[in-house]
């Protein structure tokens, strides 16, 4: 790959050295636990685990700054919106004092903070995964997780062709300019992005026509002939990977168990952990 | 020539490459368009590129369309801001899957005719509504940042569905027509 497109940040931390498969299992267990967590108190341990995962990756702030700015901006906007809609629409407030009282009431605050905490926890876990996993390991990791190699190859092909098509876009734009097309550009970033719009149709058509050539080339090299497939990059599970997988499974199991037991009324959340 | 294509098996080499190429195209264009955040919405960008999974679904079948939308969105999200929101990826997958269902309604030889182009536009609108509704309301159901259903409708569903429907309904038939003309010029292509 000529340019590194996926935001991988090189490093030597323990998270960088983990097997991508175990990191993937960890992210999914966080996702599952978040989905079934009953209230905000149950989200705090998950947030802590995600933060621990993020901080052990020792990612430099200078390289993750833009992502965090983006995530925090969304979270700020969303929490304000949540707070306002909840207190104005559902609070039944008539006067300004009522609205202010609603805004600071415990119920409304909790109700608007819970979804935002879920979003933040999920963002921390996935951002760490993407920043610490080199993109060339995505397909081998999927393949060696038991995913059929043909499916893993879709990921491989996609990552392989993204830079190719960005090049193709540049080439098509130059060809159009040679025929007299002048994209509005200059310093305005929006106008420069708008110049991409006329490229959608020609680039898509030429790429679609090349599908058959790529498929022929792959079949000539024997792709799809045999049922089994070996991977050039052999991944090996170390002790730390097994530990992370065990932690992830335990975490998800606890949250799912709590969810199921509440669903069937076997237990209820102790009063201390109940919020409203 | 075209009839033969639908009878091929699902994971044929051509379909695998089509999924990979569709994903790569969708991701490559999305990276540019993700910068167009609509004001007042969350993560909803104005994307003319939605026509890509719709077109792949329409021409290569629902599964290819779904994979192109799902993976393409997942990869472009990872590139633009390093995140993974599974429900938006499934929503984008539906943008490709639903136009692909035209395969079962329309005869294969009709897809490049007027009837086919009209169908592509209609399917693009239906896909935008269903796909974005799925994404917006799962955000609400699982509580990813949204706590009321009104909020999900006004800041996620309406802006995303309307812009995607307009872009899809205009560009998908253009792509299908252009591809039909290109295929006719190359007899070898199946």
- Residue B33's nearest CA partner among B73, B71, B93, B60 is B73
The whole-number pLDDT of residue B173 equals 92
CB < 8 Å to B48, chain A: 197, 200
The whole-number pLDDT of residue A5 equals 56
Burial class (CB in 10 A: 0-12, 13-18, 19+), A96: exposed
Percent of chain A whose predicted confidence (pLDDT) is above 70: 88
Check whether B39 has a pLDDT greater than 80: no
Least reliable range by pLDDT among A156-160, A263-267, B60-64, B122-126: A263-267
Domains of chain B: 2-185 (1.10.1760.20)
The whole-number pLDDT of residue A186 equals 63
The whole-number pLDDT of residue B3 equals 39
The whole-number pLDDT of residue B55 equals 94
Query: For residue B37, what is the DSSP state?
Result: B
The whole-number pLDDT of residue B150 equals 81
- Please state the domain extents for chain A: 14-133+237-273, 149-220
Higher pLDDT, A200 or B147: A200
pLDDT in tens, A108-119: 777 778 888 888
pLDDT in tens, B44-57: 556 788 899 999 99
Percent of chain A whose predicted confidence (pLDDT) is above 90: 21
CB < 8 Å to B71, chain A: 154-155, 158
User: How many Cβ atoms sit within 10 Å of the Cβ of residue A191?
Assistant: 12
pLDDT band, very low/low/confident/very high, at B37 (cuts 50, 70, 90): low
Check whether B83 has a pLDDT greater than 90: no
Query: For residue A233, what is the DSSP state?
Result: S
The whole-number pLDDT of residue B187 equals 56
**Distance separating alpha carbons of residues B135 and B46, to the nearest angstrom:** 16
Contact between chains at A162 and B28 (C-beta distance less than 8 A): yes
Contact between chains at B36 and A190 (C-beta distance less than 8 A): yes
pLDDT in tens, A90-111: 666 667 777 777 777 777 777 7
Alpha-carbon gap: B54 to the closest alpha carbon of chain A (Å):
12
Q: For B67, which of A78, A154, A165 is closest by C-beta distance?
A: A154
pLDDT band, very low/low/confident/very high, at B67 (cuts 50, 70, 90): very high
User: How many Cβ atoms sit within 10 Å of the Cβ of residue A273?
Assistant: 11
pLDDT mean across residues, chain B: 82
Average pLDDT rounded to a whole number, residues A79-98? 71
pLDDT band, very low/low/confident/very high, at A187 (cuts 50, 70, 90): low
**Distance separating alpha carbons of residues A202 and A139, to the nearest angstrom:** 29
pLDDT band, very low/low/confident/very high, at B94 (cuts 50, 70, 90): very high
Higher pLDDT, A3 or B120: B120
Alpha-carbon gap: A140 to the closest alpha carbon of chain B (Å):
16
Contact between chains at B174 and A203 (C-beta distance less than 8 A): no
Average pLDDT rounded to a whole number, residues A187-203? 74
pLDDT in tens, A118-162: 888 888 898 898 889 888 888 888 888 888 888 888 988 888 888
**Distance separating alpha carbons of residues A29 and A36, to the nearest angstrom:** 11
Give the tokens for residue A31: 């996702």
The whole-number pLDDT of residue B78 equals 77
**Looking at the complex, does the CB of residue A81 fall below 8 Å from at least one CB of chain B?**
yes
């Amino acid at each position: 790959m000529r340019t590194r497109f996926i935001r991988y940040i090189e490093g030597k931390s323990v998270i960088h050295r983990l097997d991508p498969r175990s990191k993937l299992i960890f992210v999914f267990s966080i996702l599952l636990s978040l989905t079934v967590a009953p209230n905000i108190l149950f989200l705090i341990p998950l947030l802590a685990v995600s933060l621990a995962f993020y901080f052990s990756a020792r990612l430099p702030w200078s390289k993750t700054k833009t992502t965090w700015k983006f995530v925090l901006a969304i979270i700020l906007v969303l929490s304000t919106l949540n707070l306002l809609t909840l207190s104005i629409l559902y609070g039944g407030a008539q006067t300004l004092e009522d609205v202010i009282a609603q805004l600071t009431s415990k119920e409304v605050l909790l109700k608007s903070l819970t979804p935002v905490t879920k979003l933040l926890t999920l963002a921390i876990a996935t951002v760490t995964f993407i920043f610490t996993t080199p993109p060339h390991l995505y397909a081998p990791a999927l393949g060696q997780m038991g995913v059929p190699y043909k499916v893993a190859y879709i990921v491989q092909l996609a990552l392989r062709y993204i830079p190719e098509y960005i090049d193709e876009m540049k080439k098509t734009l130059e060809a159009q300019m040679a025929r007299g097309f002048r994209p509005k550009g200059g310093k305005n970033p929006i106008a420069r992005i708008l110049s991409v719009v006329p490229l959608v149709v020609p680039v898509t058509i030429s790429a679609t026509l090349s599908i058959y050539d790529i498929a022929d080339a792959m079949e000539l090299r024997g792709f799809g002939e045999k049922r089994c497939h070996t991977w050039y990059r052999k991944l090996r599970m170390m002790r730390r990977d097994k530990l992370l997988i065990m932690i992830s499974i335990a975490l998800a199991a606890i949250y799912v168990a709590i969810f199921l037991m509440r669903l069937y009324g076997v237990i209820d959340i102790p009063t201390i952990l109940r919020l409203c | 020539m075209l009839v033969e294509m639908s009878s091929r098996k699902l994971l044929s080499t051509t379909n695998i490459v089509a999924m990979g190429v569709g994903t790569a195209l969708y991701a490559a264009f999305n990276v540019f368009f993700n910068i167009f955040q609509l004001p007042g919405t969350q993560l909803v960008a104005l994307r003319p590129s939605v026509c890509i999974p719709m077109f792949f679904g329409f021409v290569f079948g629902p599964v290819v369309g779904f994979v192109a939308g799902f993976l393409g969105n997942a990869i472009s999200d990872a590139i633009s801001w390093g995140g993974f929101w599974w429900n938006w990826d499934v929503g984008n997958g539906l943008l490709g899957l639903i136009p692909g269902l035209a395969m079962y309604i329309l005869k294969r030889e009709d897809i490049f005719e007027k009837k086919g182009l009209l169908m592509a536009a209609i399917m693009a609108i239906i896909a935008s509504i269903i796909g974005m509704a799925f994404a917006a309301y799962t955000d609400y159901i699982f509580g990813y940042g949204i706590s009321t259903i009104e909020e999900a409708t006004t800041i996620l569903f309406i802006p995303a569905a309307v812009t995607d429907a307009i872009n899809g309904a205009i560009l998908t038939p253009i792509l299908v027509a252009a591809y039909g003309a290109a295929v006719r010029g190359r007899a070898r292509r199946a």
